[in-house]
Amino acid sequence: MLRSKILNRIRLLKPVIDRRCMSSASKTPLTLLEVDDKSGIATLSLNRPPVNSLNIDLMNSIIESITEIEGNKSRGLILTSANDRVFCAGLDLNELHKPNQERLKEFWAVFQDVWLALHLCSVPTAAAINGHAPAGGCLLATACEYRVMLPQMTIGLNETQFGYMAPKWVMLSYLSVLPRRLAERALTQGKLFTTAEALDVGLVDEIAASKEEALAKCSTFIDSFSKANPLARSLTKKQIREPDVQKLIADRAGDLKECLEYINSPLLQDGLGAYFEALKQKSRSKAGKS
């Protein structure tokens, strides 16, 4: 009786994300999922070259992997990158620049879903941040319960640097990790923290010298729940996170409408175009040098 009541409560708390991963045109999987048969801990690696930028397919693949991990009773989830320079470059700017409107609606809905799926994941979650994590990459990291980062990387919600305002629920994810005054300053500056700065302010919990060490530290965090009843732990996490989540769930349509208006605004499109062009230019000049 109690168990079914608890399960019902979890179902109520967790919005139904009924989304299958769309088969991508590419041959390589967009996410790599390995479950350690000794520890029972699942490692989910983002695997979309060159920078794990989040498009619809990659986000659906993440959601599908989280659903699989929750279903196969893994003891925890470590999110990391198959790329050793970039954890996740955030939203794929190709999805936002001069967007197809129907696709943009789907893209935004999947973006909302991937945050909900990770933020409410029923197993313990940790991010082994083995590369740069700007904007949406930082959001994935803050949706996890614990963060271990490698040196000489950057992390932060830098949207204001290219004319964006992060949506309310994205800001709430930051506020769940940073003290308000610091979160406000970092958001308004569009600050990208260095690894050392991120540790100093608590945006990340530990620094590791290598990806292996980061994965080990994430596993230690997950092991810290070994004495907690998994169901009670999951319910407690959802209960604490519910107020922020409800702010999105209560008005997903409003969030989508606001986002469409904002992303389609000439101000944002112009800023985004210039920003994206500068990125490509940088990449071309790098290629020219190598």
Binding site for ligand LKXGUNVN (CB under 6 A): 50-51, 53, 85-86, 89-94, 132, 134-136, 139, 158-159, 164-167, 170, 258-259, 262-263, 279-280, 282-283, 286
Shortest distance, CB of residue 164 to ligand LKXGUNVN, whole angstroms? Answer: 4
Q: Which is nearer to ligand LKXGUNVN, 53 or 234 (CB)?
A: 53
The single residue of 90, 136, 137, 190 carrying the catalytic annotation is 136
Active site residue 91: yes
Shortest distance, CB of residue 239 to ligand LKXGUNVN, whole angstroms? Answer: 26
Shortest distance, CB of residue 270 to ligand LKXGUNVN, whole angstroms? Answer: 14
Q: Which is nearer to ligand LKXGUNVN, 8 or 94 (CB)?
A: 94
Q: Which is nearer to ligand LKXGUNVN, 17 or 104 (CB)?
A: 104
Active site residue 159: yes
The single residue of 70, 95, 145, 159 carrying the catalytic annotation is 159
Q: Which residue is nearest to ligand LKXGUNVN (CB)?
A: 90
Q: Which is nearer to ligand LKXGUNVN, 199 or 263 (CB)?
A: 263
Active site residue 184: no
DSSP class of residue 162 equals G
Shortest distance, CB of residue 72 to ligand LKXGUNVN, whole angstroms? Answer: 30
Q: Which is nearer to ligand LKXGUNVN, 91 or 245 (CB)?
A: 91
Query: CA 47: distance to chain centroid?
Result: 14
Please name which of 52, 62, 79 lies closest in space to residue 146, comparing C-alpha atoms: 79
List the structure tokens of 49.
Answer: 């070259």
Q: Are strands 41-46 and 31-35 parallel, antiparallel or unpaired?
A: antiparallel
The single residue of 58, 91, 172, 272 carrying the catalytic annotation is 91
Longest dimension (CA), the chain: 67
Residue 279's CB: how many other CB atoms inside 10 A? Answer: 14
Provide the 3-class DSSP secondary structure of residue 15.
coil
Shortest distance, CB of residue 75 to ligand LKXGUNVN, whole angstroms? Answer: 30
**Residue 213: Cβ-neighbour burial (10 angstroms; 0-12, 13-18, 19+):** middle
Active site residue 136: yes
The DSSP H or E segment spanning 42 is strand 41-46
Shortest distance, CB of residue 242 to ligand LKXGUNVN, whole angstroms? Answer: 22
Taking the C-alpha atoms of residue 40 and residue 288, their distance in angstroms, rounded to an integer, is 45
Q: Which is nearer to ligand LKXGUNVN, 199 or 272 (CB)?
A: 272
Contact 187, 168 (CB under 8 A): no
Please name which of 23, 175, 18 lies closest in space to residue 109, comparing C-alpha atoms: 18
Residue 67's CB: how many other CB atoms inside 10 A? Answer: 17
The residues pairing with 31 across neighbouring beta strands, listed in sequence order, are 46
Contact 62, 114 (CB under 8 A): yes
Number of helices (H), then strands (E), in the chain: 12, 9
> Which residues are annotated as catalytic?
91, 136, 158-159
